[in-house]
């Protein structure tokens, strides 16, 4: 059985989803401010690898590293949920099946504790 990553075409397909995702993120009144002044190409590369891993592709980031890079951002629950929703929307726009989108969202949700800083609402 192939992974969701393979099913949709690997890194090329994920890269297109991530591009759409960041268009939404940058336009978001809820999370867009986190990306002011950020060098987007390297971030998009990392996000492509992260989403690929969520889809069953190669793993690019440990949970400890995920926690380290997000620690200072003080991401709120609402911001986290916005990100998951925008990623789901981007995947939907690229023709992914709802069951696959829900699985990726569940895998993302499973990492909530590494992305949200303890005590941040």
Q: How confident is the model at residue 36 (pLDDT cuts 50, 70, 90)?
A: very high
Is 64 among the domain residues? yes
pLDDT (0 to 100) of residue 121: 57
pLDDT (0 to 100) of residue 118: 67
Query: In total, how many domains does the chain have?
Result: 1
Is 8 among the domain residues? yes
- To the nearest whole percent, how much of the chain has pLDDT over 90? 74
pLDDT (0 to 100) of residue 120: 61
pLDDT (0 to 100) of residue 59: 75
Closest CA to 47 of 4, 74, 15: 15
Q: What CATH number does residue 92 fall under?
A: 1.10.490.10
**What value does the mean pLDDT take over residues 32-38?**
93
Domain that holds residue 11: 4-115
pLDDT (0 to 100) of residue 63: 81
* DSSP-derived secondary structure letter, 58: -
| pTM assigned to the model | 0.91
What is d(CA 97, CA 76) in angstroms, rounded to the nearest whole number? 28
Q: In the structure encoding, which two tokens stand for residue 48, read together? A: 């492509």
Is 13 among the domain residues? yes
**What value does the mean pLDDT take over residues 95-115?**
94
On the question of pLDDT at 1 being above 60, the answer is no
């Amino acid at each position: 059985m192939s992974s969701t990553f393979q099913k949709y075409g690997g890194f090329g397909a994920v890269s297109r989803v991530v591009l759409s995702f960041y268009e939404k993120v940058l336009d978001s009144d809820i999370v867009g401010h986190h990306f002011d002044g950020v060098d987007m190409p390297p971030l998009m590369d990392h996000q492509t690898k992260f989403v690929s891993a969520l889809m069953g592709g190669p793993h690019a980031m440990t949970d400890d590293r995920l926690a380290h890079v997000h620690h200072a951002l003080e991401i709120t629950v609402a911001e986290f949920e916005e990100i998951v929703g925008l990623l789901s929307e981007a995947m939907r726009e690229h023709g992914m099946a709802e069951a696959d989108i829900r699985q990726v969202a569940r895998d993302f949700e499973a990492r909530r504790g590494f992305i949200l800083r303890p005590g941040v609402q």
